[in-house]
Amino acid sequence: MPGVSRFPSFARAVVLGVLLGAAACGNDTPTTPTTGTSTAAAVEIYTGTLQPRALGFYSFQATGTGTASITLGSLTNAATGRPLDAVLQIGVGTPVGEGCSVTNATTTPPGLAAQLNHPVVIGTYCVQLLDPGNLATASNFAVRIQRP
């Protein structure tokens, strides 16, 4: 009988509706609050050519709290491509005016391990690379910036 055969279908729909509605209600089980705003680290690469006695800077956004690790990873003669071990200054700070206001800096030759670590919170920062007088010619560089 069509009417009877459709009734269970409708009943199922009502029961399903009630169950879904009930599922939507009930106690909201609290979840464990997250602490801080730490996020997965991201890496940015700052590359360019540095003239003798010159400087350059690169701005980046920290999207969480943590440590920004700066590595002067590569320095080569721009004309020949030959690796250089000249000591340069790398610093981290905040973009101000037409430059980077450095609050933490170190002098270092290029290497594979981070030479400068700096605590950061969410915000805008900059990395500055400066030749204090050790470059004899224009040099290509690569700086690795790992930040939260």
DSSP assignments along 45-62, one per residue: EEEEEE-TT-EEEEEEEE
Under a CB-based contact definition with an 8 Å cutoff, are residues 147 and 41 in contact? yes
20 phi and psi, to 5 degrees?
A: -65, -40
Over the window 65 to 104, marking each residue x when it contacts another protein by CB under 8 A and - when it does not, the resulting string is -----------------------------xxxxx------
DSSP 3-state of 76: strand
113 touches another protein by CB under 8 A: no
Q: What is the footprint of another protein within residues 5-64 (CB under 8 A)?
A: 6-7, 9-10, 13-14, 16-18, 20-22, 24-26, 44, 46, 48, 56-61
Nearer to another protein, 29 or 80 (CB): 29
CB of 7 to another protein, least distance (A): 6
Within 8 A by CB and 6+ apart from 124, the residues are 59, 60, 61, 62, 94, 95
Q: Please give the DSSP secondary-structure letter assigned to residue 113.
A: S
Kindly list the residues in this chain that would bind another protein in the complex (CB under 8 A).
Answer: 3, 6-7, 9-10, 13-14, 16-18, 20-22, 24-26, 44, 46, 48, 56-61, 94-98, 123-124, 126
